[in-house]
């Protein structure tokens, strides 16, 4: 068998069409959803992400404000810029592109963003609400993963999900969201003993560790659903954390890299921004 492709590109396009309509409806009520993105320094990967976010906003009809700051900006200056945006009525969502220079505390920056404008879903208040299953802004990549699984009508309730990776941005929250969907969740990471044994128990395997082609066919139970969140550049080409060619004949569903989870991340960011604007109405 060859796995069915979980095509994030197609689903993202479909969702963005709907978002466009939602934005039109808000504009009829004189509300224009607004997203502010702060970019500190000249990191090329960050610049390309920010560009993609700006373009996606434009296409959906969302007002997008890009604020560029020198790498030498002090933490205090950055926090006061966020404070200004917290009080700006034209802005529904604030995003500070990570990573930040070493002299700035990411945690301080995340906590400075008003929870009702935290469209990245990283503020401790929003993380707490996610943990308890309350309505809140969900972290964009995990949110996108769950949406893809639901769109493909993958049964989540009662399934064994194994998450490889425990970052605050992907690993931890994606496990929590699937727990909220009544899955049984196991987290694995660099200290896990018998990793292959664990991954072979997964009905749904989610990999987010940043190691190219780390997961091979031997790590995957026949018929498992495999979601590859990794994005790595090897010899100028993009690849995931899963050896796609090796695993695609072992899995029932698989996400490609590129074109899998990536397009969904920005789409869910737009979704959160529009949701924030709705609350303003």
Is there a binding annotation on residue 191? no
* Residue 275 annotated to the active site: no
115-119 — which CB contacts under 8 Å span 24+ positions? 116/276, 116/279, 117/85, 117/86, 117/91, 117/92, 117/93, 117/276, 118/93, 118/94, 119/35, 119/92, 119/93, 119/94, 119/95, 119/269, 119/272, 119/273, 119/276
> For residues 272 and 62, is the Cβ–Cβ distance under 8 A?
no
Active-site annotation holder among 22, 92, 118, 120? 120
Is there a binding annotation on residue 231? yes
> For residues 208 and 230, is the Cβ–Cβ distance under 8 A?
yes
Active-site annotation holder among 15, 22, 53, 241? 53
Residue whose entry in the numeric block shows the structure tokens 């660099």? 190
* Residue 97 annotated to the active site: yes
Lookup: tokens for 41 = 């320094």
Active-site annotation holder among 97, 176, 250, 275? 97
* Residue 120 annotated to the active site: yes
Residues with a catalytic annotation lie at 53, 97, 120
**Residues tagged in the binding site annotation for NADP(+):** 165-167, 231
């Amino acid at each position: 068998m060859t796995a069915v492709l979980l095509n994030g590109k197609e689903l993202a396009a479909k969702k963005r069409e709907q978002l466009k309509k939602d934005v039109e409806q808000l504009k009829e009520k004189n509300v224009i959803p607004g997203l502010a993105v702060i970019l500190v320094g000249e990191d090329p990967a960050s610049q390309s992400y920010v560009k993609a976010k700006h373009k996606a906003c434009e296409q959906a009809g969302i007002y997008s404000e890009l604020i560029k700051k020198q790498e030498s900006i002090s933490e205090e200056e950055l926090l006061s810029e966020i404070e200004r945006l917290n009080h700006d009525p034209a802005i529904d969502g604030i995003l500070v592109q990570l990573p930040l220079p070493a002299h700035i505390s990411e945690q301080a920056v995340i906590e400075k963003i008003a929870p009702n404008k935290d469209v990245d879903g990283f503020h401790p208040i929003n993380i707490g609400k996610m943990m308890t299953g309350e309505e809140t802004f969900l972290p964009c990549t995990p949110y996108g993963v769950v949406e893809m699984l639901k769109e493909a009508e993958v049964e989540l309730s009662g399934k064994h999900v194994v998450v490889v990776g425990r970052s605050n941005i992907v690993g931890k929250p994606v496990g929590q969201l699937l727990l909220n969907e009544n899955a049984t969740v196991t987290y694995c990471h660099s200290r896990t003993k018998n990793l292959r044994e664990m991954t072979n128990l997964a009905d749904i395997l989610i990999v987010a560790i940043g190691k190219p082609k780390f997961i091979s066919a031997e790590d995957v139970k026949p018929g498992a659903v495999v979601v590859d969140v990794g994005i790595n550049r090897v010899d100028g080409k993009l690849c995931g954390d899963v050896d796609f060619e090796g695993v695609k004949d072992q899995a029932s569903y698989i996400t490609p890299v590129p074109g899998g989870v990536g397009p969904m991340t920005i789409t869910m960011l737009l979704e959160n921004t529009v949701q924030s604007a709705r609350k303003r109405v």
